[in-house]
Amino acid sequence: MKSTLILISIFALIFTACKNQPKEKAQVKKPNILFLLADDLGYGELGSYGQEVIQTPVLDNLAKQGMRFTDFYAGTSVCSPSRAVLMTGKHAGHSTIRGNNGIFENDVWKRVPLKKDEITLGEMMKEAGYQTAFIGKWHLDNPNDESTWAMNRGFDFAVQEQWASRFGGKEFEEKVHWINDDRDTMSYDQDKYDCIDVFRTNFVMEYLDEKEDDKPFFIFMSYRIPHGHERYIRNKELYADKGWEEKERTHAAKITLLDGQIGRLLKRLKDDGELENTLVIFTSDNGAHHEGHDHNFFKSTGGLRGFKRDMYEGGIRTPLIAYWEDKIEKGTISNHQGAFYDFMPTFAEVAGIETPSQSDGISILPELLGKEQKKHDYLYWELQLDGWNRKMPKGGFRQAVRKENWKAVRYGSESETELYNLEEDSYETNNLAGEHPEIVLKMEKLFEDARTETEGFPFGGKVQDYMAKEKHN
């Protein structure tokens, strides 16, 4: 009996000890990332960036609840090369794609895809354990080679618009969206939806119904608004009382409709309990366009010089809004100088992985979290404009570099370099090249040193011998 009581006491002690052991904490899911990319939205087309007419209440509130950047830049000033910078973390002097089209043998112009050995954001995030989705405009492929499409570049779920058929390169009359592969497509019916981005947001809603709940997500929403070629929208009511020309009413309405679709998506994430664990980024692929509307009508660039395809601020400076509940301080305004190639290292740090060595970027996560932020020595952009039935002197080659508050611009590899002090002259009205030849020489050295040659884009040339110029001066 005594031995039995001893055994019972021992078991009781063991049970109590086990019961009192601290429970193993449930594994915390990595933060989700929602990346929202507008198409040709200007620096001054949101209320939070000074717009006084076009209504964007959702994005303005997102800026109030998060961080708004004043000095952030696209990859370059037109879609394909800018998106290549974003997707690979390489700046425009190292990226494979330097223009919307490249030139090859026998003067044949064609789309240039990302190289297979270039790691994409989708591939990086998938490797980090994320479920990945891409919806919208890809523009980084050979349309006739599906291995270059988003679905084969790291995205588990991909809804991608495609203009060219795999069969002979014939243009589609309708905007066909390919869902994961060429066996499932859906055409955008412009008479059914207020705008194309209602159609695209429907896809992400369906994706949220089917995604895995126990894995973090990386969703890349590549919107079409306010791209100039979207000249028709079904909605005829927004701003109808303003008396504007239809092209301007349509432009303003598109932006407000996009704002509403972003609100619809954010509400869904909040209702699902996902928003609190999601870093939300909103930006635009380049500056304001001048295609089918007057970019001065709404002060689309916020007064900045130039527009889409320009290397002046109006062509490359973009809005950037970041929101992360309880992580980013509300109502913060950042003047940190960054660019699209910073997103790859930023998302890598959020995911807790190493940044691919190909990236030229610097993580802006410390800036988002109010910590000490590393700065770029300089920012670099270039662009070759030839292609798409356009013929320009020396390929329409353009370059820009920003080093602290100095900005250099050059249109043509052998042209004179313009120099601006953005701290005193953000509108780039006063060319100071003649007053600061020593700074011009440093900038021209960067024009040469920051870039490499790449197939299909031969018009970069070489800067004039800066050492000879220095000796002359």
Q: pLDDT: is 81 or 101 the higher one?
A: 81
**Percent of the chain's residues with pLDDT above 70:** 87
Rounded to whole angstroms, the Cα distance separating 343 from 23 reads 37
Q: Does a structural domain hold residue 313? A: yes
Q: Does 361 lie in the same domain as 417?
A: no
471: which 2 tokens?
Answer: 């000796």
Tokens at residue 473, please? 């001066």
Would you give the end-to-end CA distance of the chain in angstroms? 107
Q: How far is CA 174 from the centre of its chain?
A: 26
Same domain, 289 and 317: yes
User: Would you say residue 408 lies in a domain?
Assistant: yes
Residues 363 and 458 in one domain: no
Q: How many CB atoms lie within 10 A of CB 8?
A: 10
Residue 265: what pLDDT?
Answer: 98
| Distant-in-sequence, close-in-space partners of 291: CB < 8 Å, separation ≥ 6 | 40, 227, 228, 229, 308
Domain contains 27: no
pLDDT category at 390 given cuts 50, 70, 90 is low
Query: Does residue 233 share a domain with residue 94?
Result: yes
25: in domain: no
Q: Are strands 397-403 and 72-73 parallel, antiparallel or unpaired?
A: unpaired
323 and 212 in a common domain: yes
Query: What is the DSSP annotation of 176-212?
Result: EEEESSTTSEEE--TTTSSSHHHHHHHHHHHHHHHS-
**Whether residue 363 sits in one domain with residue 291:** yes
* Domain shared by 338 and 388, yes or no: no
Distance CA 303, CA 178 (A): 39
Place of tokens 């989705």: 133
Tokens 């024009």, residue located: 447
The two tokens of residue 453 are: 């040659």
**334 and 398, same domain (yes or no):** no
Query: Is 5 a member of any domain?
Result: no
How many angstroms separate the CA atoms of 86 and 339, rounded? Answer: 9
CATH code of the domain covering residue 199: 3.40.720.10
Give CA 335 to chain center in angstroms.
Answer: 18
Which candidate, 289, 279, 278, places its Cα nearest to that of 255?
A: 289
Cis, peptide link before residue 226, omega less than 30° from 0: yes
Does any domain span residue 14?
A: no
* Average pLDDT score over residue span 26-40: 89
d(CA 354, CA 127): 11
191 Cβ partners below 8 Å, 6+ apart? 234
Query: Of the candidates 348, 375, 402, which is a domain's last residue?
Result: 375
Q: CB neighbours (10 Å) of residue 369?
A: 13
Beta bridge partners of 103: 109
Do 293 and 389 lie in a common domain?
Answer: no
Residues 102 and 235 in one domain: yes
* SS3 category, 458: helix
Q: How many domains is the chain partitioned into structurally?
A: 2
Sign of CA dihedral 286, 287, 288, 292: negative
pLDDT single digits (tens) 125-182: 999 999 999 999 999 999 888 899 999 999 999 999 876 554 444 444 447 888 886 5
Q: What is the per-residue pLDDT for 163?
A: 65
What is the per-residue pLDDT for 458? 86
Question: What is the tens place of the pLDDT at every residue in 412-465?
Answer: 888 999 999 999 999 999 999 999 999 999 999 999 999 999 988 888 864 433
Q: Are residues 230 and 197 in the same domain?
A: yes
Same domain, 203 and 103: yes
Residue 1 has a pLDDT of 46
- Percent pLDDT > 90 in the chain is 75
**Worst-scoring range by mean pLDDT, 99-113, 206-220, 316-330, 352-366?**
99-113
Q: Among 345, 360, 375, where does a domain finish?
A: 375
| Averaged pLDDT of the chain | 89
User: 139 Cβ partners below 8 Å, 6+ apart?
Assistant: 79, 80, 83
pLDDT score recorded for residue 164? 54
Structure-block tokens of residue 183:
């066996």
Last residue of a domain, one of 355, 375, 395: 375
DSSP tag of 66:
S
Q: Can you give the pLDDT at residue 461?
A: 62
CA 458 and chain centroid, separation:
25
pLDDT (0 to 100) of residue 267: 98
- pLDDT, residue 186, reads 79
Average the pLDDT over each of 155-169, 220-234, 265-279 and give the range with the smallest value: 155-169
Tens digits of residue pLDDT in 289-345: 999 999 999 999 999 999 999 999 999 999 999 999 999 999 999 999 999 999 999
- C-alpha–C-alpha distance, residues 374 and 392, integer Å: 39
Quote the domain boundaries for residue 165: 32-375
pLDDT of residue 184: 66
The CATH number that applies at residue 410 is: 3.30.1120
Q: What are phi and psi of 354, to 5 degrees?
A: -75, 145
One-letter amino acid at 341 equals: Y
Domain assignment of residue 3, yes or no: no
DSSP state of 324: -
- Find the angle CA(432)-CA(437)-CA(443) to the nearest 5 degrees: 85
Q: Considering the domain boundaries, does residue 26 fall inside one?
A: no
Q: What is the pLDDT of residues 6-19, one digit of tens each?
A: 444 444 444 444 44
